Amino acid sequence: MKAALRWLVLAVFAGIALQLYFVGRIAMMAVMDPQSTAFQRSEAWRLATEKGDLKWRQQWVPYAGLSDNLKRAVIVSEDATFVEHEGVDIEALEKAWEKNAKAEQRAEKTGKLGSRVAAGGSSKPPKIVGGSTITQQLAKNLFLSGERTLMRKGQELLLTLMLEALLSKQRILEIYLNSVEWGEGVFGAEAAAQHYFRKPASQLGAYEAARLAVMLPRPKYFETRPGSAYLASRASTIAARMGGVALP
């Protein structure tokens, strides 16, 4: 009993120490740009081990040097209430939960799930829709692995609250735009602007910015499909909505 209690106390202290470490790291980001994220390091390792090519393009650009078009496009596409919420958009999470539940029900009714199992995975599972805010995405990319567990999601929420408490909305968006993936080995707005449009991130037009924003959920997919009809159509929709977006 005493041994179990001792291990429990050690686990609690380890958990507290880990959270204090995260607080310190995030506090430093208020004045220092992060050199890399956990996601970037995992991608660099994957490229080095699978392809023998450590391809990594990234160049930090201060907030003022990033196109307002890109800031607005990303907010419209990824997190419409970014400037208003405190890290978590409950309404967006509820909508995502409802969409996923309905997708699961449709799949069951049409027999997709059963046929997928019977055919050894020949049918695709229902598409899962996320409801993560920009701050949640940043928390995950900065510190966490890609696994989907309840514990990891809980840590993501804690990190999200820390980011919102210790950094301004402007700084959160600045770090996000400079570190998010925009293709294989392409990280940050400057690398993306140069890779896709051969121009600096400060000079992105509305439609160009909208195309980059639409790519964010599946950057590697759209990198190989520049002529995608969905990409063009969705980018036009995003560009049309950008005018009413307030920037932090």
**Using an 8 Å Cβ cutoff, are 159 and 137 in contact?**
no
* CA distances (Å), origin 136, targets 46, 112, 132, 185: 23, 31, 6, 22
- 80 — phi, psi (to 5°)? -60, -30
**Alpha-carbon distance 170 to 150, whole Å?**
29
User: Tens digit of pLDDT per residue, the chain (248 long)?
Assistant: 777 788 888 888 898 999 999 999 999 999 999 989 999 999 988 888 887 777 788 999 999 999 999 999 999 999 999 999 888 877 666 665 566 555 556 656 665 555 554 444 444 444 444 568 999 999 999 999 777 788 888 999 999 999 999 999 999 999 999 999 999 999 999 999 999 999 999 999 999 999 999 999 999 999 999 999 999 999 999 999 999 899 99
**Single-letter code of the amino acid located at 227:** G
Taken in order of first residue, the domains within the chain and their CATH numbers are 36-81+169-248 (1.10.3810.10)
